[in-house]
Amino acid sequence: MISAKRKRLIRWLDARLYPGFQNHWDDDLFRAEIIGLLRREHQVLDLGAGAGVLPQMNFRGNVRRVCGVDLDLRVRANPHLDEACVGDVEALPYGCESFDVVFSSNVLEHLVRPECVFREVARVLKPGGYFLVKTPNRRHYVPLIARCTPHRFHKWVNRLRGRLGEDSFRTLYAANTPQEIERLASGAGLVIEKLRLVEGRPEYCRLNSVLYLAGAGYERVVNTLAGLSWFRVLLVAVLRKVG
């Protein structure tokens, strides 16, 4: 774990370099995208809902019903869901045209067969319904390092960052570029309404001051030079079912 002295230094750098950023700023950004599309009468599916550890992904009470599906048995205790189901996202246990909105937060990077998942999402969406995704951009240095290192290294890094080992899942990044999102959407009968690449506070570099400053330098470069926007960390897409 990070020492108390190092934590104080990280907080000082946070205040100096990223005063407008809070913890889970990426989840706040994604929540705003979702909230902007929700209506009281909507039925919503959280794809890969997990244990429900992020309050930003709690939409219960904002809509008619929130369902969630995940292979992780902890989904049954997810407090953000009206209905939880242990199941495979490649074969969703719901009827056709069941949902107005489907969203997935940090799920696409784990998919083995994303084509199947996109087709399943399109199947359970009502015509005109939305599929929103938040996932790392494969071209960023964090996924690049993740693809070159063993899973035990990922668990170790997450423990340093204060995350539980059981929340570290294997990553494949098979659907993690704008081009892949466009291809998968087209093949499933979905159209891209919005797609953003965002670089913010360098979360994975907030372990010591040297890494932090390196990450901050990277952030300044990819946000300043338009030609390097493809190398920003966060990919957020809003897809709509045709019809």
CB atoms within 10 A of CB 113: 13
| DSSP letter (8 states) at residue 232 | -
Quote the pTM value: 0.91
Residues 200/25, Cβ–Cβ less than 8 Å: yes
Residue 239 φ/ψ region, left for φ over 0, alpha for ψ in the -120 to 50 degree band, beta for the rest: beta
**99-105 and 190-198 as β-strands: parallel, antiparallel, unpaired?**
unpaired
Q: Can you give the pLDDT at residue 148?
A: 80
Residues 158-166: contacts with CB within 8 Å, 24+ apart? 159/1, 160/1, 160/2, 160/207, 161/203, 161/204, 161/206, 161/207, 162/1
Q: Can you give the pLDDT at residue 106?
A: 96
Q: Where are the domains of the chain?
A: 4-241
CB atoms within 10 A of CB 166: 10
Which residues lie closer than 8 Å to 203 by C-beta, 6 or more apart? 26, 161
Q: What CATH number is given for 4-241 in this structure?
A: 3.40.50.150
Q: Can you give the pLDDT at residue 160?
A: 57
Q: In tens digits, what is the pLDDT along the chain, a chain of 243 residues?
A: 567 888 999 999 999 999 999 999 999 999 999 999 999 999 999 999 999 999 999 999 999 999 999 999 999 999 999 999 999 999 999 999 999 999 999 999 999 999 999 999 999 999 999 999 999 999 999 999 988 877 665 565 556 555 554 555 689 999 999 999 999 999 999 999 999 999 999 999 999 999 999 999 999 999 999 999 999 999 999 999 997
In three-state secondary structure terms, 217 is: helix
The packing angle between helices 4-17 and 209-224, to 10°, is 20
- Rg, Å, the chain Cα set: 18
What does the alpha-carbon distance between residue 192 and residue 185 come to, in Å, rounded to a whole number?
7
Q: How many CA atoms are closer than 13 Å to the CA of 240, on its beta-carbon side?
A: 8
Q: Can you give the pLDDT at residue 232?
A: 98
Q: Can you give the pLDDT at residue 243?
A: 79
Q: Can you give the pLDDT at residue 2?
A: 65
What does the alpha-carbon distance between residue 80 and residue 58 come to, in Å, rounded to a whole number?
5
Q: Can you give the pLDDT at residue 21?
A: 96
Backbone phi and psi for residue 35, each to the nearest 5 degrees, phi listed first: -55, -35
Residue 164, both tokens:
């539980």
**Terminal alpha carbon distance of the chain:** 51
Cα Dmax for the chain: 56
| DSSP letter (8 states) at residue 81 | -
CB atoms within 10 A of CB 100: 21
- Token pair 């690449």 is found at 197
What does the alpha-carbon distance between residue 97 and residue 129 come to, in Å, rounded to a whole number?
9
